[in-house]
Amino acid sequence: MSNNNSVALITGAAQRIGAEIARQLHTGGYDLALHYNNSASHAETLSTELNRLRANSCHCFQADLARSGSPAELAEQVLEHFGKVSVLINNASSFYPTKAGQATEKNWDELMGSNLKGAFFLTEALIETLTSENGSVVNIIDIHGERPLKNYTIYGMAKAGLAMMTKSMARELAPAVRVNGVSPGAILWPDQDEGELDNEIKQSILARIPMKRPGEPADIAKTVVFLCRDAPYITGQIIAVDGGRLLNT
């Protein structure tokens, strides 16, 4: 596929924050490689929606990024289809509790694989095209990579690793490629599959946020677009989009 537009590969693009990032980048003129793992129907629905707005601007790609070799395979498929990748958004993530004394190696492999391993090796696989495009990588981290969340130790460790990857890759890939992170606070409550929070816990979280409300997926997406398109002298930075949550201990 011949392509004159910039191409953004978004992992975990089918739903929630990933889907909103896709819509915002598409509005900004990017063509999109929409990655999903298990959410095929949501990914195809989003692709159809965006292709109606601009024909042949989106394509879906399935991959389990925690599986060894899968990130390189995904990179190859995207490059075969689009010919290049200008922007990589490492958004894919698994999120569930691993209480101390009950965590398993399977939990470790899933959470480290989806949140950190996949992001690292996908970035590695795309260095050449990102360099030729003077491209950008944006990693979706989490304020709990900096401030621990009780019972989510492995998840927090994985996001802390992604934060360090952001800073390390920013040094290694400069000056051709910028690498930054966005660290959401309370944006979307976990769904049923991730362990829904009861109302008391939600209110406790909101009480610690100076803005006194959760954010919206668009808050994250607009920050991602800014870092990709409007911040040519910013690299190695992690922007907390958290309503001021990190100001409170």
Q: Would you name the residues annotated as active-site residues?
A: 155
Alpha-helical (H) ranges within 54-198 are 70-82, 105-112, 118-125, 127-132, 153-173
CA 228, CA 239: separation in Å to the nearest integer?
13
Please give the DSSP secondary-structure letter assigned to residue 62: E
**In this structure, which amino acid lies at residue 71?**
P
CA 126, CA 123: separation in Å to the nearest integer?
5
CA 17, CA 110: separation in Å to the nearest integer?
20
CA 40, CA 38: separation in Å to the nearest integer?
6
Residue pair 221/20 in contact (Cβ under 8 Å)? The answer is: yes
3-state secondary structure at position 36: strand
CA 200, CA 214: separation in Å to the nearest integer?
15
Q: By C-alpha distance, which of 138, 165, 155, 120 is closest to 241?
A: 138
CA 135, CA 121: separation in Å to the nearest integer?
17
Residue pair 39/15 in contact (Cβ under 8 Å)? The answer is: yes
